[in-house]
């Protein structure tokens, strides 16, 4: 795992997500704590696309492909899964801590119990978004053998779902349903969309990703 951490978390990949969250917390006006999760969920999804797209293709960029290509298929899969875990944990911790940066704007708050409930909901939601969009980027990058395709195509899909059009078309079944949710207490109509997101994430991890690794020869 130390090797995967070294490969997937070079200094620049540690720094730019932190700067991204800091700028977002400073520049994005937040009047109410209920806006924090709404802001971070799609932004962390977009960040995971850029952050994780090179998970497999980094071997070619770093000129290690000849050695990597000699590994058995199972070893390749295990290495890729370890790299996904490393990146997911880093982004998830960043998302969990970055939530509190928005409090520098002194947003209005509800009760502590409700604040904790919203925070736990946010952690669940952002965890699903990170793994879905991150693995989607890896799969598409592998499929087209191009990191920029792995970033650009998911971003176009992201724009579709994270829009008024996507909300009107899919409603609570939108994978960004949490973003467009009703703020009223007790309203959880965003859950179906996130369940769909979780199912898609599992398909990416267990079906599409292994297949693209198997088919990837050069």
Q: Can you give the pLDDT at residue 5?
A: 87
Per-residue pLDDT averaged across 176-191, rounded?
Answer: 77
* CB atoms inside a 10 Å sphere around CB 124: 14
Percent of the chain at pLDDT > 90 equals 59
Asked whether the predicted pLDDT for residue 218 surpasses 60, the reply is: no
Longest dimension (CA), the chain: 57
Report the C-alpha gap between 28 and 178 in whole angstroms.
18
Report the C-alpha gap between 93 and 127 in whole angstroms.
10
Q: Tokens 């087209």: give the residue.
A: 144
Summarised one tens digit per residue, pLDDT across range 96-123 is 999 999 999 988 888 889 899 999 999 9
């Amino acid at each position: 795992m130390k090797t995967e951490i070294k490969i997937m978390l070079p200094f620049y990949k540690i720094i730019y997500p932190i700067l991204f969250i800091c700028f977002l917390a400073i520049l994005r006006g937040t009047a109410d704590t209920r806006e924090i999760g709404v802001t971070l969920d799609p932004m962390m999804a977009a960040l995971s696309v850029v952050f994780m797209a090179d998970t497999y293709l980094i071997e070619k960029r770093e000129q290690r492909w000849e050695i990597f290509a000699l590994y058995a298929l199972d070893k390749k899969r295990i290495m890729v899964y370890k790299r996904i875990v490393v990146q997911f944990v880093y982004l998830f911790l960043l998302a969990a801590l970055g939530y509190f940066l928005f409090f520098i704007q002194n947003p209005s708050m509800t009760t502590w119990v409700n604040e904790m409930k919203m925070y736990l909901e946010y952690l669940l939601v952002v965890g699903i978004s990170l793994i879905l969009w991150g693995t989607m980027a890896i799969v598409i990058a592998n499929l087209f053998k191009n990191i920029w395709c792995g970033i650009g195509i998911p971003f176009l899909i992201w724009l579709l779902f994270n829009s008024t059009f996507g909300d009107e078309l899919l409603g609570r079944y939108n994978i960004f349903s949490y973003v467009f949710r009703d703020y009223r207490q007790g309203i959880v109509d965003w859950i179906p969309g996130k369940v769909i997101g979780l199912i898609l994430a599992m398909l990416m991890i267990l079906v599409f990703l292994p297949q693209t690794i198997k088919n990837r020869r050069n």
